[in-house]
Structure 1
Amino acid sequence: PSPTPSQARTQTQTPTPYGLPEKPSIAVLAFDNMSGDAEQAYFSDGISEDIITDLSRLSELHVIARNSSFVYKNAAVAVPEIARALGVRYVLEGSVRKAGNRVRVTAQLIDANDGGHVWANRFDRDLTDIFAVQDELTREIVTALKVQLTGRNQSPLAGGRPVDVRAYELLLRGREQASAHTRLANAAGRNLAEAAVAIEPDYAAAHALIAFTHVLDYINDWSTDPEQSLRTGRALAERAVAMAPDQPEGHCALSIACMWMRELDRAQDEAHLGLALAPNSVQLHMALAHALIFSGDPKAALAELDISMRLDPLYPELLLQFLADAHFSLGAFETAILAIEARLMRNPQSETAFALLASCHGHLGHQDQSRQAWNRALELNPNFSIPRRRRILPFRNPEDFERRVDGLRKAGLVE
């Protein structure tokens, strides 16, 4: 049998070409910004991302995550090559021109098998009609792919849209900022999402983003009172779900918040609720995998990570950390090392990765490599604290955390 992605792909950054899924498969590229103003790129990117989000809600489709499809933004790469790298048959490309209160969206759906255009259209509308444009465009793509929608998916696009386009633009800018994952960008993203809520108080997606930024403050120790940040994030995520239970973003934020509050069963439940709404959501598959690792079920976590890698072939480095954590929990220290080293090739500044690497080598009796990795972790973060990690990492079974410390003890690095 062929290896699963988690076995085959710990050693390389390059995506392994996959066979096509049985269901129609599509990658939505970043739409070109034709507005003549580079500052408007957030808007064309946001429209592309929303189309991905809408299509991701359809269980009848296989939709590649933004993280992978946006790699080809402004790149001179032929559509068949993109399709082959991402493992899809269809590619959607397009452009957005925003001028005053008018917007023009053009899009074409290409069959990478023969390079033919399956569908193309142009939408010239008032800016306030941008949500109708997105809905029409998505429905026309579904029709062009000859997808028969069933049950809940008959109206996958209902709800979740703000009334005021100004709130939408603020949220798009907020998402762009927060995606940088730095302390300042996180705060800037939150401020923009809060401005969106000031215009549209019931904008659930904006509440979900604000919630997520507070949880990130807790995880990264970015706020003066991290525990309060987590409580605030949890409350705002609950509010987002209550406002729009049919939108996956709130469930994702609530799943992550509950996990860090050690409510691991609720974290898994919220991830499953979100995945029922958006089965192609990599964020939700990864949130579920993370909760499963902390719950002591690394095999189930690996299954979720395999799905994530198929949907996001150019997956984020954090996925490699989750992969390493799951293999470590299974006692597969050599495989965990492969995943950590792959992460460190992409981000050599992660003290978390070096600390786990030190423990893996300690368990394997590699004392020199263990010491080198541990010293590097402490160089990157002189305040690296095992007691703090023991306190905040929400392992259901304390021995799962202690196994990480035991690797350091075996190498003589800690008492």
Structure 2
Amino acid sequence: MTDLFNWLANHESGLSAIAAMMAIVAGVVVVLSPLGAGIRGFFSGDNKAGSGQSQPEQELASTKAQIIEINTPPPLITDKPSIAVLPFVNMSDDKSQEYFADGMTEDIITGLSCDSRLFVIARNSTFAYKGQSPDIRTVGKELGVRYVLEGSIRPINDRLRITTQLIETETGTHVWAEKIDRPAAEIFDIMDDVVDGIVIALCSNIRVAESDRAGRQRPEELNAWALCVRAEILFISQPDSEAVSRAIDLAQRATEIEPGYAASWALLAMLTSVRVTNGLSGNLAEDSEQALSLAGKALKLAPNDPHVLSCCGFAATWAGQAAQAIGYLERSLTINPNNSFARLYYGAALYCDTRLEDCLEQLQLFIQRSPRDLYIGVAIFHLALCYVSLKDYEQAEHEARVAIKHTPGFGWNYITLAMALSGLGRDSEAQAQIQQFNKLESVLTRQRIEDIFHLWIEEPKHVEQLISLLRQAWADS
């Protein structure tokens, strides 16, 4: 430890010159946000990290939108240390234990994010490196960070062997390292120790505030936590209708194993709200009410858990309670300002509340700080939809086309582009986009989309504008 503090003293000036990019966690949850139609094809694009395929050449937005180009490194700041946590490597021969390593990575990211003195890179951005052995200097440049944490985990019977190392990206210097061999039942204490060690290394001898830690509820049963992690991974890696149903089953089992674990109820609320937006719901009102009820259970158990708040904000948004969602998401961001999942859906909730300029601000902030996030396409989709509502149809067209390049299987992109083209009077092109949407989506009809608009958005004039553009593009339905 003495050597560590000597290193910090010699590098004090360097610690303030930190690159940053705000993060997400989805803290659990998912990191995902299957908003609406196209969930079956959301990850069907060819822009997987590490595939060697080119990124879109267009800028993510024009100067008006002030969005950075996808290949442009994130902007640097100088007031906080920034860190990226790479996916922990599962050293077990049993690949079914992969979720254990992923879950530990997520929880370490969440723990670090709750310290407002740090900038922590989004889980979705760092998981782009999963299965790779990237050069740490390259990671630092690509993510705009000064520090990277990497580690491995090997479950052996009822024990865990974990190695972690914190590396300064400019020089490759090892700042801090730890080897742990402890009972698996102590996994949450282990993660807290790792978080504390990193904070000490980056911020000298300061600790994560006890009030922040108190807000993060831990499960009593490891199985409940594991089920939630498996549900999230399933939902992210295979976000189709069948996967949604299976993820709901896993989350439901977690609530049965440990009824007092708020994260499982929050995850179940979020997944239930997905049914509302992707055409799985047979009754929008009933499923919306159920999602809100589940969110209420979660918040009663853990009212100050930022992950629970962000998931419940997601659920409330798509259950038609935007004002309520805004309250949850603002509280989540106050507790954990690095939660880019909350940032993205805060923007979406502001859109549904017809606070369009505020929506643009939050979405642009998300895109600037998380340019490698898996949900960058969803963020740009929301941006395009917001420009449609602002009647800036040229900008909306531009953003919708960028969104399609990122996520060509996400059906709502084509609906948004069709509405923008209708606004520009290019009806034949708009109708072509509706045809493309229909090739992707067999469940969502025009009437169901109109019903969803009515559910999401309270302002009548706002809804009428969207429906008018939709009908103009979908004139033969």
Contact 1:6 / 1:323 at 8 angstroms: preserved in 2? no
Matched, 1:332 2:396: no
How many residue pairs were aligned?
411
Moved more, 209-218 or 14-23: 14-23
**Alpha-carbon distance, 1:353 to partner:** 1.3
> d(CA) in 1 for partners of 2:104 and 2:72?
26
| Unpaired stretches in structure 2, ≥5 consecutive residues | 1-60
Deviation string, structure 1 residues 371-391 (Cα, Å, up to 9, x no partner): 321222233335543332232
Who is 2:145 aligned against? 88
Describe the SS at the equivalent of 1:74. coil
What does residue range 6-405 of structure 1 map to in structure 2 within 5 Å? 6-9=65-68, 13-20=70-77, 22-146=79-203, 153-158=209-214, 159-179=216-236, 180-315=238-373, 316=375, 317-381=377-441, 384-393=444-453, 394-405=456-467
> d(CA) in 2 for partners of 1:266 and 1:213?
18
Q: 1:233 to 1:305 in 2, by over 3 A?
A: same
Contact 1:355 / 1:374 at 8 angstroms: preserved in 2? yes
Contact 1:60 / 1:147 at 8 angstroms: preserved in 2? no
Q: 1:7 to 1:413 in 2, by over 3 A?
A: farther
> d(CA) in 1 for partners of 2:347 and 2:395?
17
> d(CA) in 1 for partners of 2:235 and 2:473?
39
> d(CA) in 1 for partners of 2:259 and 2:133?
42
**Alpha-carbon distance, 1:314 to partner:** 1.3
**Alpha-carbon distance, 1:368 to partner:** 3.6
Deviation string, structure 1 residues 216-247 (Cα, Å, up to 9, x no partner): 11221224444322222211111111101121
Moved more, 372-381 or 63-72: 372-381
Contact 2:161 / 2:179 at 8 angstroms: preserved in 1? yes
Moved more, 95-104 or 354-363: 354-363
Describe the SS at the equivalent of 2:450. helix
Moved more, 238-247 or 373-382: 373-382
Moved more, 219-228 or 355-364: 219-228
Q: 1:119 to 1:199 in 2, by over 3 A?
A: same
> d(CA) in 2 for partners of 1:267 and 1:290?
10
Deviation string, structure 1 residues 225-283 (Cα, Å, up to 9, x no partner): 44322222211111111101121222223222322343222111111111122111111
Q: Counterpart amino acid of 1:219? A: T
Identity of aligned residues (%): 31
> d(CA) in 2 for partners of 1:357 and 1:405?
14
Describe the SS at the equivalent of 2:213. coil
**Alpha-carbon distance, 1:199 to partner:** 2.3
TM-score, length-scaled by structure 1: 0.91
> d(CA) in 2 for partners of 1:109 and 1:32?
15
Who is 2:55 aligned against? none
Contact 2:291 / 2:319 at 8 angstroms: preserved in 1? no
Describe the SS at the equivalent of 1:91. strand
Q: 1:309 to 1:147 in 2, by over 3 A?
A: farther
More RCO (CA 8 Å, sep 6+): 2
Q: Counterpart amino acid of 1:73? A: K
Q: Counterpart amino acid of 1:188? A: R
Q: Counterpart amino acid of 1:134? A: M
Deviation string, structure 1 residues 345-404 (Cα, Å, up to 9, x no partner): 233233321121112122223334223212222333355433322322222322223323
Contact 2:273 / 2:319 at 8 angstroms: preserved in 1? no
**Backbone CA RMSD of aligned residues:** 2.5
TM-score, length-scaled by structure 2: 0.80
Describe the SS at the equivalent of 1:267. helix
> d(CA) in 1 for partners of 2:205 and 2:298?
30
Q: 1:4 to 1:206 in 2, by over 3 A?
A: farther
> d(CA) in 1 for partners of 2:392 and 2:205?
43
> d(CA) in 2 for partners of 1:185 and 1:105?
31
Contact 1:286 / 1:304 at 8 angstroms: preserved in 2? yes
Contact 1:65 / 1:281 at 8 angstroms: preserved in 2? yes
> d(CA) in 2 for partners of 1:328 and 1:148?
50
> d(CA) in 1 for partners of 2:472 and 2:318?
29
Q: Counterpart amino acid of 2:458? A: R
Q: 1:183 to 1:148 in 2, by over 3 A?
A: farther
